Amino acid sequence: MNNRRLPAVLGAGLLALALTACGGGGGSTTSSGAKLVNSGTLTVCSDVPYPPFEDFDKSAPTGFKGFDVDIVSQIAKGLNLKLTIKDSSFDALQSGLALNSGQCDLAASAMTITADRKKNLDFSDGYYNSKQSLLVPDGSSIKTIDDLSGKKVGVQQGTTGKTYTEDNAPSDAQIVTFPSDAEMYQAIKAGQVDALLQDLPVNLNHQQAGGYQIVQTYDTNEQYGLAMKKGNTHLVDDVDKQLQKMHDDGTYDTLYNKYFSTK
């Protein structure tokens, strides 16, 4: 062995090790300095299903589909990153737990930007203006939120729909909390609750499936945002630039009309 080369070999080895650690799934940064949990990949967490924003789709490259999925797909493409999507509970997303524990870089889950959530999360610019709504079975006597007196209404844990219901439903309405829309929808189909109060597009999806109708909507000035770990400002800037680019080149309008056009 040529001992004179030993330091150089060790140096090269250490450098290779450092590069491997940087690029082998232990986290890295983008060219802008945004921190990523996995090198070369935008890892996104979402509470699935919540159509039309996110749903399972085995035929899709990511295994998921929906408006939010298309939005983050465009963002990943614009940042020259691969896209990985993970199913997560909404509570873990809105509390910041999933992001702070390094499960993902970004939460895309029809999440309303609120002052409380901003304490634990950083948000992109708003990308969707939403309303709340009340869904009941066809033929129901419930026509407004005031008619929930003595009735059971399903809401989702940790959502602004739950907060709106608690603030506005009659005091003797029984608010039943579920972990996701999937359980809520099953509950109203089984007659376990009399109504669902949640985001308008999701209830529209149930109305279109038949057997149910939206009897009231509520303009709550809510905007959905993409959530990121507190302090990852480079990633927030990157995402906002990609959202603006989508608005400027018409991509956003194309995706919006794909899911929400009434024509």
**Nearest partner of 153 among 168, 61, 98, 31, judged by Cα:** 168
Tokens of 12: 């090269």
Cα–Cα distance, 8 to 108 (Å, whole number) = 46
Q: Report pLDDT digits (tens) over 29-80.
A: 777 888 899 999 999 999 999 899 999 999 999 999 999 999 999 999 999 9
Tell me the domains of the chain and their CATH numbers.
Answer: 41-129+222-260 (3.40.190.10), 131-221 (3.40.190.10)
Q: Average pLDDT of 241-248?
A: 97
Cα–Cα distance, 71 to 68 (Å, whole number) = 5
User: DSSP character for 80?
Assistant: T
Q: Which residues pair with residue 223 across a beta bridge?
A: 129
Predicted TM-score (pTM) of this structure: 0.74
The pLDDT score that the predictor gives to residue 29 is 79
Omega before 170 cis (within 30°)? no
- Indicate whether 99 pLDDT > 50: yes
Q: Report pLDDT digits (tens) over 130-161.
A: 889 999 999 999 999 999 999 999 999 989 89
